[in-house]
Copies of this chain bind each other. A is one copy, B any other.
Amino acid sequence: MENLFWLTPIGAVLGLLFALFQAFKVLKAPEGTDKMKKISASIRKGANAYLARQYKVVGIFFIVMFVILVCMAAAKMLTWFVPFAFITGGFFSGLSGFIGMKIATSANARTAHASGESLNKGLRIAFASGSVMGFTVVGLGMLDLSIWYMILRFGFHLPIAEMSAAMLTFGMGASSMALFARVGGGIFTKAADVGADLVGKVEAGIPEDDPRNPATIADNVGDNVGDVAGMGADLYESYVGSVIATIALAVSAGYGFAGAFVPMVLAALGIVVSIIGSFLVKCKDDASDKQLLGALRKGTWVAAALSAVVAFFVVKFVLVDGTANALANGTADALSITNPANMGVFVAIVSGLLAGVLIGFFTEYYTSDVYKPTQRLSDSSKTGAATVIISGIALGMSSTAIPVIIVCASVLVSYWAASGFQFTTALNMGGLYGIGISAVGMLSTLGITLATDAYGPVADNAGGIAEMSGLPANVRERTDKLDGLGNTTAATGKGFAIGSAALTALALIVSYIEEVKIKDPGFSFNLTLTNPPVLVGLFIGAMLPFLFSSLTMNAVGRAAQTIVVEVRRQFREIKGLLEGVEGVDADYQTCVTLCTKGAQREMIAPAALGIVSPIIVGLVLGVNGVVGMLAGATATGFVLAVMMSNSGGAWDNAKKYVEAGHHGGKGSDEHKATVVGDTVGDPFKDTSGPSINILIKLLSMVSIVFAGLVMSFSLIH
């Protein structure tokens, strides 16, 4: 049975090779005119400068945390593997972001140039760049997991339960890195965007991406650091976290080795089906918006369908037959098998896959201007900015209902099916394993899902470069099409990210309880909802996403303020800039530096909140309170993240809808009202909303790592 393990590193290597192949495809394409090269180089330079600084700050954090973890290990509150697992989790997550950014900033000009040849070529380059990100994330994720598996199992001969407990903690490294990437990147991108818009578009009246705007390069850099590196790190963490949490649950569910290998094999084969799916993404040159979306959808949906087929055989042969054979043959593994496996686990996987697809679809429904909600939102611009804001917030709030119901249905179906198609009054660990594996199912096609998502910023940048370097109108038209598609995939990607984060967080909460049981099998829980520490934890958990969002939104506000001041200064002091005199260039670099500094400074407080809260809550309320906090933060965080992402997405598209000529078009009062909505939506959808995903996972991860401390020193037991 343990030979099945080798599928995981093989899948990882296949994923990385495919990423490399796609990277070559991108890099061998021509970069276009000198002007395009120059702009692309500026963006690359800004992105590198940002990353260099970010890794410095994050490096300090990792060193400090490493020392703390070493001290805790010395005090026997942790095993010695934890500090090292923490470091590798952070390292691989950071590396994924780095590679994704490198290729995205190399692909933007190439996409613009290829769009000059044909729409399909543009799409292929941009999607290849997204694929590099997608397959790097899944490849490195499974590689990290494989390496630790080999060290802990083959090197130290740890039992599966202890191995998964140790491995869970590398999730904390990945989570921390993801939080810094998402929050820092989110602040950077929106400070640049808001700053550029407020002075450039609103005050000076020049169009978006106009080269006269000193913040325009920073804006393009921001698309990469926020949406590529941030999103990649977020999903890296969900991906690896859900697999390890499910391995941990396999042990508690009494499935032995077989149960532990199902998530690993599923993830490995998921990489293969994602590769197959990505070959299907292509379009005709006169493709409509709908056909373009169809091209991407074909890839992801085929991959999802193949993944479901694969899952059937994995559950049948690995889990059901595997446990039956082990029991029949009395192998070494047979001792740890206490639960008859059933095909309900397959149903759980399918429910996860389906939930991912459905959440993506409904996100699109609420945020795309081809559907009623966003069209009605743009109607409200007739009565001014205030009604646009009210309607947009109401839209976001009402859009939370369906994703919540989808996730709830998926949780219930997974639990019910994996419990052997029944509900029992006592908690069924096999059912909880089902919830974990449904998250793995949802994420099994991450390679291609993330590719379609990371494609967006590249297309967005390509549009910017086409505008700034004055490419012909038909090229702009094509890059606009690609960019519009990117907005849609960005929205569905956000829905997918939050849905998978919620399922992963639920699996992590259960893992936390298992972790406490491993540390002290006699620990007496009272997780009843009416137990006051649980209830109080729940209230605090419900409040944390709000407090966190206020920190990140204010951070964007403050960072944007410095950009506003700087852009105004350049317009005032650089003679001829606003008039567009030949040879007079804006000082782009200063804006990039200001954004970088602002992002680094402002990401400290939200990150600290995520790390310190579970420790303080734990030390006061004890383990029961921590579980309450995690549940409260996950439930409320999920709802708030969906609301903020969808309000933001809808405002953005309502503005585009007006710009497309409805309600008076560009320059009308209606347009101005929607611009206010779009500006409010920027931090909603690109900073606060998606950061909440990471917050809820980070809270669980920190709780798991500091469980020993809390168990020893909490005020209330």
- Chain A positions within 8 Å of B, measured between CB atoms, are 194, 198, 202, 380, 383-387, 389-391, 393-398, 400-401, 404-405, 407-408, 411-412, 415, 423, 425-427, 431-432, 435, 506, 509-510, 513, 524-536, 538-543, 546-547, 549-551, 553-554, 556-557, 560-561, 564, 627-628, 631-632, 635-636, 638-639, 643, 675-676, 679-680, 683, 716-717
Question: Lowest 10 CB-CB distances: which A-B pairs, in order?
Answer: A397-B550, A386-B679, A398-B550, A542-B635, A404-B543, A394-B553, A394-B550, A415-B532, A397-B546, A408-B536
Looking at the complex, which one of B395, B525, B534, B676 makes contact with A384 (CB distance below 8 Å)?
Answer: B676
Alpha-carbon separation in the docked complex, A362 to B206 (Å):
44
Once the chains bind, are A528 and B527 in contact (CB under 8 Å)? yes
Q: Which residues of B contact A386 (CB under 8 A)?
A: 194, 198, 675-676, 679-680
Alpha-carbon separation in the docked complex, A543 to B405 (Å):
9
Once the chains bind, are B395 and A539 in contact (CB under 8 Å)? no
Given contacts A539-B404, A543-B639, A556-B390, contact A509 B532 (CB under 8 A): no
Q: Which residues of B contact A432 (CB under 8 A)?
A: 530, 532
Once the chains bind, are A398 and B631 in contact (CB under 8 Å)? no
Given contacts A394-B557, A513-B530, contact A540 B404 (CB under 8 A): yes
Alpha-carbon separation in the docked complex, A429 to B412 (Å):
31
20 pairs from A and B in contact (CB 8 Å cutoff): A194-B386, A383-B561, A389-B389, A398-B546, A401-B546, A401-B547, A404-B539, A408-B540, A411-B536, A412-B716, A423-B717, A506-B535, A525-B528, A527-B528, A528-B529, A529-B627, A538-B631, A539-B635, A542-B639, A546-B639
Once the chains bind, are A543 and B631 in contact (CB under 8 Å)? no
Q: Which residues of B contact A529 (CB under 8 A)?
A: 509, 527-529, 534, 627-628, 631
Once the chains bind, are B400 and A547 in contact (CB under 8 Å)? yes
Alpha-carbon separation in the docked complex, A426 to B530 (Å):
11
Looking at the complex, which one of B398, B546, B635 makes contact with A643 (CB distance below 8 Å)?
Answer: B546
Looking at the complex, which one of B390, B400, B675 makes contact with A546 (CB distance below 8 Å)?
Answer: B400
Q: Which residues of B contact A560 (CB under 8 A)?
A: 387
CB distance from A610 to the nearest CB of B (A): 14
Question: How many copies of this chain does one complex carry?
Answer: 2
Q: Which residues of B contact A431 (CB under 8 A)?
A: 532
CB distance from A550 to the nearest CB of B (A): 4
Looking at the complex, which one of B527, B535, B638 makes contact with A530 (CB distance below 8 Å)?
Answer: B527
Alpha-carbon separation in the docked complex, A542 to B198 (Å):
35
The closest CB in chain B to the CB of A716 belongs to B423
CB distance from A637 to the nearest CB of B (A): 9
Once the chains bind, are B547 and A426 in contact (CB under 8 Å)? no
Once the chains bind, are A425 and B526 in contact (CB under 8 Å)? yes
Looking at the complex, which one of B202, B524, B632 makes contact with A635 (CB distance below 8 Å)?
Answer: B632
Given contacts A526-B427, A530-B509, A532-B435, contact A401 B543 (CB under 8 A): yes
Alpha-carbon separation in the docked complex, A506 to B546 (Å):
21
> Residue among A383, A538, A635 with the most chain B CB within 10 A?
A635
Q: Which residues of B contact A564 (CB under 8 A)?
A: 383
Once the chains bind, are A390 and B553 in contact (CB under 8 Å)? yes
CB distance from A402 to the nearest CB of B (A): 10
Once the chains bind, are A680 and B425 in contact (CB under 8 Å)? no
Looking at the complex, which one of B427, B435, B680 makes contact with A528 (CB distance below 8 Å)?
Answer: B427
> Residue among A411, A532, A627 with the most chain B CB within 10 A?
A532
Once the chains bind, are A539 and B628 in contact (CB under 8 Å)? no
Q: Which residues of B contact A408 (CB under 8 A)?
A: 536, 539-540
Q: Which residues of B contact A639 (CB under 8 A)?
A: 539, 542-543, 546, 636
Q: Which residues of B contact A393 (CB under 8 A)?
A: 550, 553, 680
Given contacts A383-B564, A532-B412, A676-B384, contact A398 B547 (CB under 8 A): yes
Alpha-carbon separation in the docked complex, A683 to B525 (Å):
43
Looking at the complex, which one of B384, B425, B528, B716 makes contact with A717 (CB distance below 8 Å)?
Answer: B425
Alpha-carbon separation in the docked complex, A561 to B387 (Å):
10
Q: Which residues of B contact A405 (CB under 8 A)?
A: 540
CB distance from A511 to the nearest CB of B (A): 11
Alpha-carbon separation in the docked complex, A13 to B638 (Å):
49
Q: Which residues of B contact A561 (CB under 8 A)?
A: 383
Given contacts A513-B530, A539-B635, A635-B636, contact A547 B394 (CB under 8 A): no
